[in-house]
Amino acid sequence: MIPIDSLKIPKQHLPLNIKLADPYFYRPGKIDVLLGAENSVFDFIATGSTSNSQSQNIQYTHCGLIYDCSDIGNDIKKFWQLESIKIKDDPNYNEVDQSLETFEKTVRYKNNRYEVELQWKRHWHDLNDNYSVAKKRLHSLIRRFKKNPVLNLQYRETLHVHEKNGIIEKVPNPENPINKPVFYMPHQPVFRDESLTTKMPIVFDASSSHSFQHLSFNDCL
């Protein structure tokens, strides 16, 4: 321990029969190594309250921290093997290869377009259906469209096109649960300052969830 100023240590306060690891601990100087403990492997280290050589109003307190670094080699080894920094890949898991394999097995050409199964990062049972959130946001959107019938008509036309193309479908009875993955995505229009004849895009919010404790659709895919 190196002080920032010279310390006044009365000799009678130091035991004569104790050998100090640093007999000149009261002198400021360059730090060679950081140590701490009352009884270290390098002999005893002085600790306690001392006064400043220039001012009697300033008191210094020396204290030590004991830390066992005997296993630091294994800690460093584990750090460099962390998968998160890509130093060591997990041979039993390769997300890219699994995604390509799923794509090749499930891709199909249907109705002049390609279709592929959803690839889940988590099991769909972990997904909350999000029905109540989607319903509330839909009611909010309906109230908004009541003030603008033209935009309401455009929005309905876009939804009909999506339904015709198989992008969305009607749910006959959403109150009855089914044993299949279900997630209701809120949707909203993208307003543009252009001609009213311009087709209105619709954005589906796959990041919506009941709360931060629940998973969203994006969290599972």
What value does the mean pLDDT of the chain take? 72
Please report, for residues 14, 48, 60, the alpha-carbon distance to residue 57 in angstroms, rounded to integers and kept in the order given.
22, 16, 10
Alpha-carbon span 184 to 214, nearest angstrom: 14
The tally of CA atoms less than 13 A away on the side-chain side of residue 82 is: 6
The mean pLDDT value for 203-218 works out to 82
Residue 133 pLDDT > 70? yes
Residue 64 pLDDT > 60? no
pLDDT digits (tens, 9 = 90+) for 3-48: 666 777 666 567 777 777 777 777 777 766 555 445 555 555 656 5
State the amino acid at position 128 in one-letter form: N
The mean pLDDT value for 70-77 works out to 65
Most confident residue range from 82-91, 132-141, 171-180, 187-196: 132-141
pLDDT-above-90 percentage for the chain: 5
pTM flag (> 0.85): no
